[in-house]
Amino acid sequence: MTATLPRPAARAAAPAPPGTWRLALGGRSVLLDRRAALAATALAALVVVAVAVSLAVGTARLPLTHTLPAVFGSGSDREVLLVQRLRLPRVAAALAVGAALGTAGVLLQTLARNRLATPDTVGLNDGATAFAVASVVAVSTSISPSAFALVGAATAAALALGLAGGAGTHGYRFLVVGLGVGAALGAVTQLMLARAAIDDANAAFPWSVGSLNSRSATSVAVLAGGLAVALPVAVVLGRQLRLLRLADAVVVGLGTRVKRVRLAVIATAVVTAGLAVATAGPLGLVALLAPEIARKAAGPRVVPVFGAALAGALVVLLADLAGRTVAAPLELPAGLVTAVIGGPYLLWLLLATRSRRLA
Amino acid sequence: MSTLEAPRPTRGDTVADPADLVTEALDLGYDGTRVVHALDLRLPPGQVTAIVGPNGCGKSTLLGALARVHEAQGGAVLLDGRDLATLRPRDAARRIGLLPQQAAAPDGLTVRDLVRYGRHPHQGLLRQWSPEDAAAVHGALAAADLLDLADRPLDQLSGGQRQRAWIAMVVAQQTAVVLLDEPTSALDLGHQLEVLELVADLAAQGRTVVLVLHDLSTACRHADHLVAMRDGRVVAEGPPADVVTAGLVRELYGVEAAVLRDPTSGTPVVCPVRRVAATG
């Protein structure tokens, strides 16, 4: 046996648990998981690189030394136009959409204690899509698709949760019911597109695959606002999120108000997924891939909300970049790229024999 | 492992403030089905109480209600004279700790990570790690004899070690009441003893320990107080040596049994003979 530390020493120093940094000020203290912090830093660095490459690469290639000045308006008119007007908004949309989907994914997976529970699978994306498409083709209204998508995501969540009798002890049921709700709402979208006039259907097309091509600046701004609220909420929920991975009875025993935490988690997921879909349509499988990358990087101690947001931003940026360049001058929608990468991964996840519990 | 070689000194904090846990006319149930009926129970402070009874008799439900997992449908659970339902969850969790059945942890979590969760009710958003937390986690690891294994992933431990890790999580919570739902099920004899010796240590420190146990002889051997339940009601209650008789075994399980005395402890040992119709 190792020698037991004398207790007074432990009391005086308050050594941080291994693998963490303790930031203390007065009586206040915050623990930072080292691996999670390093993972987030690395992902952030990769996002910065991906942003730089996205701004430089396209039908017209710019040297990296010209893109950064062009972001701030210096350089030739052509470069400024290309970077500021065309590429920057698209990159911003990719960042926000990816971050939102990654966040929604990690929240729903934790809530249902199942890696397969994402806004795609539990119907949130389908609900948001159906309502957004309805706002374009079926209803004549001045209300923005963002608002509609939000209502759609909330409707899908309410339906799935209501029919499954809560997400808690019935994580699996929530997932299966969500699949059904999603399928039904997806059919509604198809029906609306089939019956719509061809111009309306064209206008609604991005919502059926997921694309970042010329997305509305308003919806990106609304999404950024949503993220500005959702990410801090997720940080405040962080300690409770970790506990939610355990059995309900354990979580209650540790003094958490489980119902309240769940409600906050689902609301945050609805807002992020709904607004992301309103911006770029249902970008397939980003919400599945991003949390997985983040968890692998951040380790089992934390629920990496920030990591998942960063990984989501990275995945969407790269998918859009690939879509713009691989088959140029033809442009593939980013949703197609994520589906092509994510599909096989999803299959592997379903077929893998190893434990499917959240790692 | 080391439990057999090195006698384990009792470590950890002595509970200064033993809890008084009482149920008053407590009704419990799910979706309209009543599982526990008008239960009046006082759990002796600083002692080990074992709740026994046939499957579905309501013993796990009762334990859940003592830890606020199930809401009372009638009556109340009183902690030091106050209705448990009116306490803030966090305050209640500083007094009552629960280890439910079949607790599972995320893959890759270490023993220390798990034990740290026990500090949750003592922490806050801006109070995430205090000297008390460090001392409590260390003390709980020492009490469960897990200091050597503290940084090992839970999935690499034996069943008994893993169960001790879960109990250490509850110990780190530093509650006056510790509730354990079948802590020895699925463990072999040596691992069962490992866990039950730890339980005895907890009670020796002044904690009120309540166990749900499947095996009547184990309950007799390791509990100070026995509560026998059937169909959601208490059939018998008291020190095991006074309570456990052939008649009780028949009433509880519908089994004719010989009740002998354990040669070492003098506690009742139940030897089943055959199944008969349950009485009572």
Residue of chain A with shortest Cα separation from B8? A1
For residue A142, give every residue at least 6 positions away whose Cβ sits within 8 Å of its Cβ, in sequence order, or none: none
Inter-chain contacts counted by CB atoms under 8 A, chains A and B: 136
Q: Which residues lie closer than 8 Å to B36 by C-beta, 6 or more apart? A: B26, B27, B28, B29, B58, B61, B62, B65, B232, B233
Q: Is the pLDDT of residue A72 over 80?
A: yes
User: Of the ranges A155-164, A241-250, A263-272, B81-90, which one carries the lowest mean pLDDT score?
Assistant: A155-164
Whether B204 has its CB under 8 Å from any CB of chain A: the answer is no
The string over B148-169, giving b where at least 16 C-beta atoms fall within 10 Å of a residue's C-beta and e elsewhere, is: ebbeebbeebeebbbbbbbbbb
Pair of tokens at residue A301: 């101690």
pLDDT for the residue numbered A169: 53
B182 in reach of chain A (CB within 8 A): no
- List, as ranges, residues 38-77 from B with C-beta within 8 Å of A: 64, 67-69
Average pLDDT over residues A220-245: 91
B-chain CB neighbours of A7 within 8 Å are 135, 138-139
Which residues in chain B are closer than 8 Å to A256, comparing Cβ atoms?
A: 89, 120
Interface check for B160 against chain A (CB to CB < 8 A): the answer is no
- Separation between Cα atoms, residue A149 and residue A119, nearest integer Å: 13
Residue A44 resides in a domain: no
Query: B interface mutation test: which of A245, A252, A258, A262 has the most B CBs within 10 A?
Result: A252
Q: Give the neighbor-by-neighbor strand order of the sheet with B74-79.
A: B33-43, B21-30, B74-79, B82-83
Which amino acid is located at A249 in the chain? A
Domain membership of residue A144 as a residue range: 91-351
Residue A118 gets which letter from DSSP?
Answer: S
CA distance B74 to chain A (A): 20
User: Which of B92, B108, B133 is closest, CB to CB, to A359?
Assistant: B108
What pLDDT is recorded for position B33? 87
Q: Which domains does chain B show, CATH number per domain? A: 2-275 (3.40.50.300)
Q: Which two tokens stand for residue A252?
A: 């209650």
A279 domain residue, yes or no: yes
Best of B120, B156, B173 to mutate (most A CBs within 10 Å, chain A): B120
Beta-strand (E) ranges in chain B? Answer: 21-30, 33-43, 48-52, 74-79, 82-83, 96-99, 177-181, 208-212, 225-230, 233-238, 255-261, 268-275
pLDDT tens-place string over residues A205-232:
777 777 887 677 888 899 999 999 999 9
Separation of alpha carbons A294 and A106, rounded Å:
9
Collect all residues of chain A within an 8 Å Cβ-Cβ radius of residue B132: 11
> Is there a domain that residue A275 lies in?
yes
A356 is a domain residue? no
pLDDT at residue A356, as a whole number: 47
Rounded average pLDDT over A336-355: 76
Which residues on neighbouring strands pair with residue A28, listed in sequence order?
A25
Q: What is the largest CA-CA distance in chain A?
A: 78
Cβ separation A254–B130 shorter than 8 A? no
pLDDT of residue A333: 85
A17 vs chain B: nearest CA distance in angstroms? 8
Q: Confirm whether A172 is domain-assigned.
A: yes
pLDDT in tens, A113-141: 888 889 988 888 899 888 888 888 776 66
Of A1, A255, A299, Cβ closest to residue B2: A1
- Decide if pLDDT at A199 tops 90: no
* Number of structural domains in chain A: 1
B6 interface with A at CB cutoff 8 Å: yes
Res A10: pLDDT: 41
Gap between the Cα atoms of B48 and B42, Å rounded: 12
Determine the Cα–Cα distance for residues A246 and B108; give it in Å rounded to an integer.
13
Contact: B135, A11; criterion CB under 8 Å: yes
Q: What percentage of chain A has pLDDT greater than the value 90?
A: 34
Residue A293 belongs to some domain of the structure: yes
Interchain contact, A1 vs B148, CB within 8 Å: yes
Q: Does some domain include residue A129?
A: yes
A245 touches chain B (CB under 8 A): yes
Position A193 confidence tier, pLDDT thresholds 50, 70, 90: confident
Kindly provide the ipTM of the predicted complex, given to two decimals.
0.89
Whether A77 maps to a domain, the answer reads: no
**A253/B127 touch (CB, cutoff 8 Å), yes or no:** no
Mean pLDDT in order along chain B per 10 residues (280 residues):
41 65 92 89 94 93 94 93 94 95 86 96 90 93 94 92 94 95 89 92 93 93 96 94 94 93 91 79
> How far apart, in whole angstroms, are the C-alpha atoms of residue B126 and residue B79?
29
CATH number of domain containing A217: 1.10.3470.10
User: In chain A, which residues have their Cβ closer than 8 Å to the Cβ of B97?
Assistant: 253
Measured between beta carbons, the chain B residues lying within 8 angstroms of A15 are 134
> CA-CA distance, A104 to A13, in Å (whole number)?
39
CA B254 to chain centre: 25
Q: Which of A30-44, A323-337, B112-126, B183-197 has the lowest mean pLDDT?
A: A323-337
Q: What is the pLDDT of residue B4?
A: 40
pLDDT surpassing 90 at residue A107: yes
Mean pLDDT of A43-68: 88
Q: How far apart are CA A132 and CA A274, in angstroms?
A: 9
CA A298/CA A292 separation, integer angstroms: 10
User: Strands A28-33 and B21-30, how do they pair?
Assistant: unpaired
Give the span between the Cα atoms of B22 and B45, in whole angstroms: 10
Chain-centroid distance of CA B221 in Å reads: 15
Distance separating alpha carbons of residues A163 and B209, to the nearest angstrom: 39
Q: What is the mean pLDDT of residues A257-283?
A: 90
- What lies within 8 Å, CB to CB, of A272 at 6+ separation is A100, A101, A103, A104, A107, A226, A227, A230
Question: What's the rounded Cα separation, in Å, for the pair A272 and A125?
Answer: 10
